[in-house]
Chains A and B, each alone.
Chain A
């Protein structure tokens, strides 16, 4: 099972000091957080993509390329790559390039984005969100698998005799996850292709996650990729820890109370009771995270949101130490002990290459 972190890349004032980091500070902090993830033994760093303030990561492959050069083992991913408003041709090229530079450590997650005006800013129409995700990904899928593509669709200029360069590393396209909170069409899309399905699993009660994951698993089996239990599922999660749970609550509350998305709403206690958010000791994080498999089944990737709501970099790095030292080693062991035989690991470049070579031999 893979463990990692995902970042939204928000520039949020620290409510305890009133200070807002500069964009440069935030971008460098994201890099420091990614490097720390590798140092503490996490498997994955994923960055969001946004094209409006207060978010900085508009250019994920630039950031991931820089991180790739400074890490050895970390899987570099996205959360998410906007398949709706980006040109699928440019996604094919950018991520193929990144995969070469990163020696096969790249995968990516498709998402539609949730900021209405981004669509018109990029010449698209939000009412076509699902259709854009369907058509653009169908093209991206071909661009990585066919050397010469002739294509015509509804949303983009046609292609005649087009070759996306560079070709994917070792002829193996990067593994793709599809992220969605509540659109069954996207679970269906992930299932159709046999790709991974990621539910961000934060801010909402677990029932929503459960319904979407069940749909994806059923449809994955329907399309003949394996049993429902063999489908490739990723979940988000959000935690704040201190050795002593009261300390965690005391320190996190001022951030929670005014945080974007959930601030100014229910109390921290109500929110942790109703959603996967955990604020407490590492042991509490272990218990709550292990319980995710009760509604999502045995899954392959767990990403935590750690840097948000204005938490200072120093605090985030301390959180990552706790995650790497006290939480993830226990989770690895406990999840492995519960996992039935036949539930696969998340595909990586290496495993996909091995599968491709087996097919050639067969």
Chain B
């Protein structure tokens, strides 16, 4: 199975990436089957994401990242909190993904911030975004404020969320891959035909 981590952390090293890595490692431990982990660092794609908005098509690195995400069996998404929400770069990445490409995909949402006061960003920003994308969001989201890195409790939340993600990755029926399907022309025309049958 394939697990992809999308990290919108900007600094190197980044606590956002660190949280993503810990969630991924825990998910691998909980999974019954072997899991391949791939990490997508949005920082490296920032320019191509902006160009996708102006051009309408992804550059090569971005196309590879989009392929990785849309072909994953599970997704961990981690963003820093900027201005009381996910970062603009994080949102922009999900803005350029094809509609329906994440439908049915198990997603673990996570965020980092300087203070615990923004922890509900998971519930008011990330969860509705992935609900809109028709992903299956695991019940436990993980928020790590600066102080959480030196306090008990984060481990437990990581384990619980990772267990839920691993369970969904194993348990959900296979996702439909959205290949463009041809509607035969006669069917297209018939759907418009009038009752008078001229």
| A residues in contact (CB < 8 Å) with B | 130-131, 134-135, 138, 150-154, 158, 184-185, 188-189, 191-192, 203-205, 208, 215, 219, 261-266, 270, 274
The reply to whether A138 and B198 form a contact with Cβ atoms under 8 Å apart is: no
Majority DSSP secondary structure for residues of B touching A: loop
The reply to whether A153 and B194 form a contact with Cβ atoms under 8 Å apart is: yes
A125, chain B: closest CB distance, angstroms: 14
The reply to whether A274 and B56 form a contact with Cβ atoms under 8 Å apart is: no
Could you say which of B33-41, B143-151, B178-186 contacts chain A? B178-186
Bound CA span A208–B57, Å: 10
Number of inter-chain CB pairs below 8 Å: 63
- Residues in A neighbouring B181, C-beta threshold 8 A: 184
Q: A134-B188, A135-B192, A152-B196 are in contact. Are A184 and B182 (CB under 8 A)?
A: yes
- Residues in A neighbouring B198, C-beta threshold 8 A: 150-152
Bound CA span A153–B189, Å: 10
- Residues in B neighbouring A262, C-beta threshold 8 A: 54-55
- Residues in A neighbouring B192, C-beta threshold 8 A: 131, 134-135, 153-154
Residue among B186, B193, B196, B198 with max Cβ neighbours from chain A (10 Å): B198
Count the B residues whose beta carbon is within 8 Å of the partner chain — how many? 23
B177 proximal to A (CB < 8 A): no
- Say which residue of A151, A188, A204, A266 sits within 8 Å of B182 (CB atoms): A188
The reply to whether A188 and B185 form a contact with Cβ atoms under 8 Å apart is: yes
Bound CA span A274–B188, Å: 34
- Residues in A neighbouring B196, C-beta threshold 8 A: 152, 158
Residue pairs across A and B with Cβ atoms less than 8 A apart, 24 shown, are: A131-B188, A131-B191, A131-B192, A134-B192, A138-B189, A151-B198, A152-B194, A152-B198, A153-B192, A153-B193, A185-B182, A185-B183, A188-B182, A189-B188, A191-B185, A203-B56, A204-B56, A205-B57, A208-B57, A215-B182, A262-B55, A263-B54, A266-B51, A274-B59
